Amino acid sequence: MSQKAGPRPSRDFKNVATTQEEEDAYDFLKHRTHVKLTSVFGSVAHIVKGALGGGILSGHVAYMKAGVGVAVPLNVIFGAYMAYCLHLLVWSSQVLYKRTRIPSMSYSDVGEAAMMCSRFPTLKKVARFFRYTIDGIICLDLFGSCCCYLIIISKQLKQLVEDTHASSFEGSFPGYPGLRVYMGCMIPLIVVICMIRHLKYLAPFSIGANIVIVFCIMLAVYYAFDYNPAFENMTLATTAYNTFEFI
């Protein structure tokens, strides 16, 4: 029997816990009675997919633009920075769960709660604005990503069907449909997937995407060693513009 979604937490976030002992005494996991929890494996799949994304498939092109000597250190730095930000976000949300006695929050809830529980009155006044800013940035990013990925997927399908590397808006050969047809066929499927609200049910899609990404990375590495086993003619650094393009 499926669980019903619980009521949304109140936006009147208050610091209920006054001492560290009161914070530690609250177990937010035991109070999550109406939340569809995601398994550890599914959560890791979401993190990996979110961190890598489809852009990893063009990583070899990015390395070529920036140069190996620049791209590798930047990749390590940004990877560590992203891991630290994720750790900080999870740690902060768990602290807010204990302080506000709210066992579950959305991304924007965490942002607003952090401002409301601040000791500075000025930050409390802009908490609601901060929440809407987070929602706006997320919507802008996700809607933009969906639009871009729709074009990318349709373009790849078109090239696969036509068996050509050429990129054109219309059909490359007589009788072949244009890019609009492929986009029209993909829109219903993408809309249905986007209507899934719970990460628990999106985990299989993330796992499948990660498998495809790993397979493509293995192919890219294989062909890299096959075509250039001695790592010859590799540029260490290029221009500042290419470096920013890599970033």
Is the pLDDT assigned to residue 86 strictly greater than 90? no
Is the pLDDT assigned to residue 24 strictly greater than 90? no
Q: What is the pLDDT of residue 4?
A: 45
Cα dihedral 214, 215, 216, 222 in deg (nearest 10): 110
225 band by pLDDT with thresholds 50, 70 and 90: confident
Q: What is the pLDDT of residue 5?
A: 45
Residue 159 neighbours by CB under 8 Å, 6+ apart: 165, 166, 167
Query: Do 49 and 206 form a contact (C-beta atoms < 8 A)?
Result: yes
The domain ranges of the chain are: 39-246
Compute the distance between CA of residue 68 and CA of residue 77 in angstroms, rounded to an integer. 14
11 band by pLDDT with thresholds 50, 70 and 90: low
Sequence letter at residue 7: P
Q: What pTM value is reported for the model?
A: 0.73
111-127 mean pLDDT: 89
- Number of helical H runs and strand E runs in the chain: 10, 0
Q: What is the pLDDT of residue 136?
A: 93
Percent of all residues in the chain with a pLDDT value above 70, rounded to a whole number:
94
- Local structure of 166: helix, strand or coil: coil
User: In terms of C-beta density within 10 A (0-12 exposed, 13-18 middle, 19 or more buried), how is residue 73 classed?
Assistant: exposed
Is the pLDDT assigned to residue 169 strictly greater than 90? no
Cα angle: 215, vertex 218, 219; to 5 degrees: 90
6 band by pLDDT with thresholds 50, 70 and 90: very low
Query: Do 207 and 45 form a contact (C-beta atoms < 8 A)?
Result: yes
4-16 mean pLDDT: 61
Query: Do 206 and 45 form a contact (C-beta atoms < 8 A)?
Result: yes
Query: Do 110 and 89 form a contact (C-beta atoms < 8 A)?
Result: yes
